Amino acid sequence: MAPYEKLHAWRESHELALAVYQVTKTFPTEEQYGLTSQIRRAAFSAAVNIVEG
């Protein structure tokens, strides 16, 4: 297990990112490259920023 995987903040942000991906699957197709993409990137970014420190 990588050291960052032990952090509570990283685990929570990772779970959030997974949940966001599931929810955004239900968004309309016309939002795929706009709102959906932006929300997914933001959720993923939170976990990545924790890893980077």
Nearest-angstrom CA–CA distance, 50 and 38: 19
What local confidence, expressed as pLDDT, does residue 1 receive? 75
Render the burial of 1-22: b for 16+ CB within 10 Å, e for the rest: eeeeeeeeebeebbeebeebee
Torsion of CA 5, 52, 24, 31, to 10 degrees: -170
What local confidence, expressed as pLDDT, does residue 2 receive? 84
**What is the domain partition of the chain in residue ranges?**
3-52
For 1-53, the pLDDT digits (tens) are 789 999 999 999 999 999 999 999 999 999 888 999 999 999 999 999 999 98
Instruction: From 12, 3, 6, 2, select the one nearest 47 (Cα to Cα).
Output: 12
**Predicted model pTM:** 0.82
Helices (H), 1-53: 8-24, 35-52
